[in-house]
Homo-oligomer: A and B are copies of this chain.
């Protein structure tokens, strides 16, 4: 099976492409009316994640509506803690909430390893999506990084500082490593299942990378990400570690293929820290999509010029904000396609 549009995979492998591929984090979601139509039929977000046919439907929407060069399976990073034995709720306007968290050795021992049984609904959604995509564009599978999942499993909800999770690293480093290792085992099973179901490339989201100093990030996060990447080497991998300014060099030293940059990371500095052997992904400021089309186009061109033609996958530097107009997202995507093609021809 050859993909009609394999720009994303070729760019991830460092091959030359006729234009820069583009997709948008959180592209399947509240920015699309078509998504909201599906969503409002259901009682909640988690319900949608667990209905493979509807998950496949919303996964494909941005391919049809926005013209992105990849679909990303509609799911949630917190399905892993749930599959390990910690169920959660999604509170409207307040984010995720875990009634039970990990505090003691006993809590730790009770955790299961996530497997194909507990997460089969994601595999089913991937199979359905692949079938319906009919090889038009690649499908991105994903997971939360062990450190980010650790934060939720310890704190039970979002936090500005995740001080309880960080407390654990100082107070009980061995306990922390055991939990991180268990999460890692579950993630490896999960990603292997995603590959078997048809995922073409994988992204690891480390949303809370930014709360750790570089030495702790390397020890309590990147070590486990690296183990994951080495276990799923059959397809390309992307690391997106938001706020990991001080660890870009270490991320460049893992065996991943693509390094995602957040909107605050300087492109030239990141390239020199990450090295020439990786593809970079990102990193337009999602707040720029609130501006008029002229400014969106200008910011998009500025970004493309800084990344250059090779080894770049265009994206935002953070998930698209839910109150963004879909037309503005489309304007960004169209400008990437048009301008990056011109860049290759040298006539711009």
Contacts and interface: CB of A to CB of B under 8 A. Distances in A.
A68 to B, nearest CB: 21
A103 interface: no
Nearest to A211: B264
Nearest to A286: B163
Taking residues whose C-beta sits less than 8 angstroms from the other chain, chain A's interface range is 20 to 34
Contact of A163 (B161, B169, B243, B287): B287
Interface stretch (A182-190, A191-199, A224-232, A288-296): A288-296
Interface of A: 158, 160-161, 163, 166-167, 169-171, 210-214, 216, 243, 245-246, 263-266, 269, 285-288, 290-292, 295, 318, 321, 323
Given A170-B287, A210-B264, 12 more contacts: A163-B290, A163-B321, A163-B323, A170-B291, A170-B295, A171-B290, A171-B291, A171-B292, A213-B264, A213-B285, A243-B243, A246-B264
Contact of A263 (B158, B171, B213): B213
Nearest to A322: B163
A211 B318 CA distance: 11
Given A167-B290, A291-B171, A318 B161 contact: yes
Contact of A290 (B170, B243, B286): B170
A125 B333 CA distance: 55
A293 to B, nearest CB: 12
Nearest to A246: B266
A269 B210 CA distance: 17
13 contacts: A158-B160, A163-B323, A167-B290, A169-B287, A170-B291, A170-B295, A171-B291, A211-B264, A213-B264, A213-B266, A245-B245, A245-B246, A246-B269
